[in-house]
Amino acid sequence: MAIRFVAKLENGKVRLPRQQGLEELAQRGYGVYQEDGSLLLSPCEALYLLERKRIKVVNEEKLDFQSLLSRLASQRGQGLWAKYMIYRDLRRRGYVVREGVGLGLDFRVYEKGEYGKKPAKYLVYGILEGLPIPIKKITQLLSHTQSLKKRLILAVVDRRGEIVYYTVSTLNI
């Protein structure tokens, strides 16, 4: 598919100005509409659409994938690459993926075909292999996720960039 939209990087945010066809992107779970009719993309959404050649991103000049990643990572932190890898993997598997909801949860994930019809079923928390995470943090995430009536998924990114997903549930003794 050819590039269809031109996005602008302004103040560390990628925005698609109001134009024909934005509704199609929004219906597929990309971006958040702004008051002026533009569509604000999350960093992962912008990187994914750029990689898939659905958008072109410009600042003073056209930005390639690596340039956009560097600029967004300088403001969002170095964890953006791992977060993007999880986002891309879930999108390629056919899920609609949106930003998380509090406590550092990375994403809300909708069952296939349910975006816009039903709430997200899963909340995803990304972890880099080898970096410790306190059990208290996982307990907080699980409690928060269950209070929202959703399932917690831990997405572990290994050193080779492969992702393994684990469903977290309670253990009653």
Structure tokens belonging to residue 151: 């399932």
Q: CB-based contacts of 73: which residues, under 8 Å, 6+ apart?
A: 80, 81
User: Which structural domain, as residue segments, surrounds residue 163?
Assistant: 80-168
Say if residue 44 is in the same domain as residue 26.
Answer: yes
Say if residue 56 is in the same domain as residue 117.
Answer: no
Q: Give the helix/strand (H/E) hosting 44.
A: helix 43-51
Question: What is the mean predicted confidence (pLDDT) over 6-17?
Answer: 93
What is the distance between the alpha carbons of residues 107 and 98, in angstroms, rounded to a whole number?
A: 5
Question: What is the mean predicted confidence (pLDDT) over 100-113?
Answer: 89
Longest dimension (CA), the chain: 60
Question: What is the mean predicted confidence (pLDDT) over 122-130?
Answer: 94
Say if residue 85 is in the same domain as residue 153.
Answer: yes
Chain centroid to CA 147: 22
Say if residue 20 is in the same domain as residue 72.
Answer: yes
Residue 83 and residue 126 in contact, taking contact as beta carbons nearer than 8 Å: yes
Residue 13 lies in a domain: yes
**DSSP per-residue letters across 67-117:** HHHHHHHHHH-TTHHHHHHHHHHHHHTT-EEEE--STT--EEEEPTT-TTT
N- to C-terminal Cα separation, the chain: 53
Question: What pTM was computed for the model?
Answer: 0.92
Say if residue 46 is in the same domain as residue 99.
Answer: no
Say if residue 96 is in the same domain as residue 60.
Answer: no
Residue 48 lies in a domain: yes
Confidence of residue 171 (pLDDT cuts 50, 70, 90): low
Q: Which of the residue ranges 77-81, 105-109, 114-118 would you say has the lowest mean pLDDT?
A: 77-81
CB atoms within 10 A of CB 16: 25
